[in-house]
Amino acid sequence: MDQFSFNHLNDTEFEQFGYDLLVALGFSSVNWRKGTGLATSPADSGRDLECQLIQRRIDDEPYVERWFVECKHYQKGVPVDALTGALAWASSERPDTLLIIASNFLSNSTKDYIDKYNANNKPTYKIVIWERPKLEKLTATHSLLLKKYRLSGDYPFLALLHPSHIACLQDMPINTLKYFLDCLDELPPEKRDAMFGTAYLFLIQPRYRKAVTGKETMAELEIDRVDYAAFKQRCHQIIQTGMMSGLLLTYLIITFTLNELFGLGDTTKIDDNVTSMAHAAKFFQSQIEKRPQEKDHLEKMVANAQHHQKEIPARIKANYSLYCYFCENVLEKLRMEKYLRKCEPPADQEQEYEDAVQFYRKELE
């Protein structure tokens, strides 16, 4: 897994990254002071970028902030003298905010200098600092930036893997069904249903009645109950009928749920998904004149695509939080069974347990 780094960029490329990042974060009127985008461009008079940020007051009235942005590309700590020009220009022009974007870190002496500068001069503007760790968080949901500037290798999603997930890639837990269900019993019902809802459907395989109005949801058409109690009952039925062992069933449920949650919560897909929905809305809009008899339906499709386009970022971020919750509150407990032995397998299953553990570990290797 490649470390998040800007060391492979030159100064001009790092400024270009700063420009693209501000646009991606919703800043407007972003102006690159170099003008030509070349390293030989004229001096920037103390700041590399100017932009605006629309904020809202407590009464929801919008107002515009003016930001000056200085991009500092150093492989070591940014020295004090690298910022004096930006501070002088900001003191003269008085923006609302002076943003320092550092490809790595500000040196300790520079941070001390800024603290004393704020205390002694009490500038009318705010000084905001974005160092590499902050930049990594800000770009985590912008796959286009990650790819364009080669910041996280070919697989940027690897940086999102939870430590418990990584540990399972090396040593996936093999759990008895009883221990697994005991762990699930302790979870808040809403969290449990959100994490295992798809597993409920796959195991229960509910029957559905025919739609009458065409507006019914899938849940409203279900004949069979789909909930945690029915899921537990179905798990026991599978074991009792000999379809598979409890160890295998538990392993399949865990790995399926883990992969699904990470896939749904992969924040590096946000840009691609938003772009896809924007293209879908544009396509449906283009079809309205060509297919006037379907106008109402197509207009609904446009509105639906635009709605999804807006809610994609929040939904994927919420799914990523759910993935992390699963890793911390389910995976961690499951990995402890072999140590805690809270649920010893019956004597007649001990050999089956050991055989299954050895089999799956070999497969994972």
Could you report the per-residue pLDDT of 193-247, keeping only the tens digit for each? 999 999 999 999 998 888 888 778 888 888 888 899 999 999 999 999 988 888 9
Q: Which of 256, 232, 252 is nearest to 174 (CA)?
A: 252
Provide mean pLDDT across the span 18-30.
Answer: 92
Residue 5 is assigned to a structural domain of this protein? no
pLDDT recorded at residue 339? 60
Report the alpha-carbon distance of residue 95 to residue 254 in Å, rounded.
53
Report the alpha-carbon distance of residue 317 to residue 3 in Å, rounded.
22
Shared-domain flag, residues 310 and 174? yes
Shared-domain flag, residues 197 and 344? yes
pLDDT recorded at residue 360? 52
The domain total for the chain is 2
pLDDT recorded at residue 32? 86
Question: Where a domain ends, among 156, 184, 200?
Answer: 156
Question: Where a domain ends, among 126, 156, 186?
Answer: 156
Q: How confident is the model at residue 189 (pLDDT cuts 50, 70, 90)?
A: very high
Provide mean pLDDT across the span 14-42.
Answer: 76
Residue 136 is assigned to a structural domain of this protein? yes
Shared-domain flag, residues 183 and 210? yes
Domain that holds residue 69: 11-156
- What average pLDDT does the structure give for the chain? 85
Shared-domain flag, residues 345 and 204? yes
What's the token pair of residue 86? 């930006």
Question: Where a domain ends, among 156, 181, 212?
Answer: 156
Q: Which of 355 and 69 is assigned the larger pLDDT?
A: 69
pLDDT recorded at residue 352? 54
Return the number of other C-beta atoms located less than 10 Å from residue 3's C-beta.
11
Q: How confident is the model at residue 45 (pLDDT cuts 50, 70, 90)?
A: very low
**What is the pTM (predicted TM-score) of this model?**
0.61
Return the number of other C-beta atoms located less than 10 Å from residue 216's C-beta.
13
pLDDT recorded at residue 340? 54
